[in-house]
Amino acid sequence: MEDRELIEKIIQGQEDLFSIIIDKYKNKVFSIIYSFCGQTSDCEDIAQNVFIKIFKALPKFKFESEFSTWMYRIVINETITISKKKKHNVLPLDINNSEDEEKSNLIDFLKSNDNTERELMQKETQKMVQEALGKLKDNYKMVLTLRDIEDYSYEEIAKMMDASVENVKIWIFRARNRLKEILTEGGNLK
User: What Å distances lie between residue 49 and 147, 162, 168, CA to CA?
Assistant: 24, 21, 26
Per-residue confidence of the chain (190 residues) as pLDDT tens digits? 899 999 999 999 999 999 999 999 999 898 888 877 766 677 888 889 899 999 999 999 988 888 988 999 899 888 888 777 765 444 444 434 444 444 444 445 444 545 566 666 767 776 777 778 778 888 898 898 889 888 899 999 999 888 999 999 999 999 999 988 988 886 555 4
For the domain 118-190, what is the CATH code? 1.10.10.10
In angstroms, rounded to a whole number, what is the distance separating the alpha carbons of residues 118 and 124? 10
For 1-88, CATH number out of 1.10.1740.10, 3.40.50.150, 3.90.70.10, 1.10.3720.10 equals 1.10.1740.10
- Sequence spans of domains, the chain: 1-88, 118-190
Contact 106, 122 (CB under 8 A): no
In angstroms, rounded to a whole number, what is the distance separating the alpha carbons of residues 147 and 112? 34
pLDDT computed for residue 150 by the predictor? 82
pLDDT computed for residue 92 by the predictor? 43
The pTM score is 0.64
Q: DSSP class of residue 114? A: S
